[in-house]
Structure 1
Amino acid sequence: MRITQNMMAGVFMRNMHKQTAAMLQRQEQVASQKRINRPSDDPIGIGRVLTGRSLLAAIDQYAENIAQGKTRIETTDQTLTMAGDLVRQARRIAEEKSGEEISAAERELAAGHIKEIYDQVMQLANSQHAGRYMFGGHEVDRPPFTRDDDYTASYNGDAGSFRIPIAEQVEVGIDADGRNFFMDATAGGVDIFAELKNLIDGLEETDLAVGSAAIRAAVDPLQNAEVQIRNKRSELAPKLYRMQATGEHWANFKVRVQDAIGRDEDADVVRAALELTQLKTAYETSMAAAAKIIQPSLADFLR
């Protein structure tokens, strides 16, 4: 078979195109520090990268949910702690002012103090987190608790709960029905506002004997209210622990996913730079060899 100048030129041109394409690919890898810059670079690898990125987006969303949930639980716990302290103050006042020897003037001052405690507890019951009321169920845009001038409280929310997705098809529920915290009407539950009102009425009773009986009657319910608040706080602890553990799991898993994406997507820059140098050397060698084999006019033109 006779090898013509045209055949040699064709082989030379094809090799030059391959070498040029390889050099451009290595240059792009060095510049971007990415092995995959377009799907055609590695169709299978880009599929794994896209799957990994979708997983990272889901992990970030779960992490954000967990962060918000932890903040809400911590805020709820702080709110209940302050409410418990106020109820304890009210109980101690009831214990101190229940004797018939306490004057009407002293009881009137104590009644004013209990009214302040009542309003502070209601303010806590109307606490907000991220601009949304915490204890109104799904009714998050209006205060869940109000009172009239007679210190009779009303609940304006519903029985909804706050649910936090922390994994696929996994949610942590946080009770948001304020009645379960402050107006529990179930067996053994305490309506804190009603008991504070009873204490106010007892302190303002003009018949000291009747008032003393009413004040003493408020002591045990207020003590039960303290227990009720502690029990609601204790329900928060395992939820907080679960969120913390799940958050740590996602943080560790995110690192593994990022590493897997990096193995597919990231370039070995040192290796790519070395290969680029080798390709340039091979390209220059090919050009020099072609100049000796192919007619000078063509080789000179290609230079």
Structure 2
Amino acid sequence: MRVTSNMMANMVKSSIFRQSEKLMDAQETLTSQKKIQKPSDDPFGAERILSCRAEIGSMEQFHTNIQRSEARFSATDHVLDTVDDFLGVAREFAVENNCDNPPEEQRIIAAENIKAAREQIAQLINTRMDGDYIFGGYQTEAPPVTVGSGGYVIYNGDDGGINAIIGQNLTMQVNVTGLDLFSTTPNGAGEEEVDVLRALQDMETELRQPAGAFSHASFDAWIDQVEAARDKIKVAQARSAARTYAMDAARNQLAEFRARLQNMLSEIEDADMDQAAVELIHQRTVYEAALKSSAMVIQHSLVDFLR
């Protein structure tokens, strides 16, 4: 077959183009420090990279969920500590006045303190975090407790448990509901009155009775209500502490698994920098050699043409 000058020029052009591509690939590998630049470089490796990155993304979301859950546990525990403190104060004043004919001034001071404790507890049950009421179960957009038609505090939430996804096929409840903390009693108007807050309100009303009308006959029952509420708070706190411990263990497992995935990803896609530098030098040498040989071929072709 006769080789024309035009054919030789095309062959030279193709050779230089192929070698320039190899040189560019070597430069890109050294610059990016990644040995797989596009799926066609290593289809199986590219697929593994995508899989590892998807797994790492899931790990990061699980970690975020754990952080938010731990923050919620911390906020809940702080609120419960404060509620327990107020109940403790109310109990002390109730016990102090659980006798015949306590001084009226003492009763008024006790009534004011019990009222303040009751109001603070109601506000604390209506605590919000990230825009959600945290003690209302599934009812996160409305206050869990309000004043009902009978003038007593009522519970508007439910007993719904809110779960967070903290691992592959692993969820954990992250909320405490008002029903976990306080017992309630229907008031006949379709409302659930919070027993301990009603007890505090009735106690306050009795303490404000004028001299001679005061009776401590119901105080033992009211004090029992306060103690029962404090016991339920302790149970809820113990349950939250156990969940926090489990969250911590899950976070540590995620960190270990994520580290393994990162190492696997690095092995798949990270280039050996020493080898990449040697390869770049090699490809540059070959490219320069191709340019020189191409120049010689074109020069000979030009001489042949002039003859």
TM-score by length of 2: 0.85
Q: 2: CA distance between counterparts of 1:228 and 1:249?
A: 32
Q: 2: CA distance between counterparts of 1:54 and 1:223?
A: 51
Aligned length: 294
Q: 2: CA distance between counterparts of 1:286 and 1:225?
A: 87
**Segment drifting more, 279-288 vs 135-144:** 279-288
Within 5 Å, which residues of 2 pair with 1:40-189?
Answer: 40-148=40-148, 152-183=152-183
Say which SS state the counterpart of residue 161 (structure 1) adopts: coil
Q: 2: CA distance between counterparts of 1:22 and 1:257?
A: 31
Are 1:262 and 2:276 matched, yes or no? no
Is the Cα–Cα contact under 8 Å of residues 195 and 221 in structure 1 kept in the other structure? yes
1:253 to 251, 257, 266: 257
Partner of 2:244: 240
Q: 2: CA distance between counterparts of 1:295 and 1:113?
A: 103
CA drift at 1:191: 2.8
Say which SS state the counterpart of residue 212 (structure 1) adopts: coil
Say which SS state the counterpart of residue 142 (structure 2) adopts: coil
Partner of 1:31: 31
**Segment drifting more, 204-213 vs 158-167:** 204-213
Say which SS state the counterpart of residue 165 (structure 1) adopts: strand
CA drift at 1:3: 11
Q: Deviation per CA, 1:23-50: give whole Å up to 9, x if none.
A: 1110111222221121111111100001
Say which SS state the counterpart of residue 139 (structure 2) adopts: coil
Q: 2: CA distance between counterparts of 1:155 and 1:295?
A: 93
Partner of 1:20: 20
Is the Cα–Cα contact under 8 Å of residues 104 and 208 in structure 1 kept in the other structure? no
CA drift at 1:180: 2.0
Judged with a 3 Å threshold, the aligned counterparts in structure 2 of structure 1 residues 23 and 97 are, in CA distance, closer, same or farther, namely: same
Is the Cα–Cα contact under 8 Å of residues 126 and 135 in structure 1 kept in the other structure? yes
| Stretches of structure 1 lacking an aligned partner (at least 5 in a row) | none
Partner of 1:296: 299
CA drift at 1:298: 4.3
Q: Deviation per CA, 1:186-207: give whole Å up to 9, x if none.
A: xxxx932122123223313446
1:226 to 218, 227, 230: 230
Q: Percent identity?
A: 29
Are 1:203 and 2:211 matched, yes or no? no
Judged with a 3 Å threshold, the aligned counterparts in structure 2 of structure 1 residues 134 and 117 are, in CA distance, closer, same or farther, namely: same
Say which SS state the counterpart of residue 177 (structure 2) adopts: coil
Say which SS state the counterpart of residue 258 (structure 2) adopts: helix
**Segment drifting more, 282-291 vs 232-241:** 282-291
Partner of 1:278: 282
Q: Deviation per CA, 1:215-272: give whole Å up to 9, x if none.
A: 3442233223222211111011111111111111112211221221122222223321
Instruction: Give the superposed CA RMSD.
Output: 2.8
CA drift at 1:137: 1.2
2:196 to 192, 213, 227: 192
CA drift at 1:285: 3.6
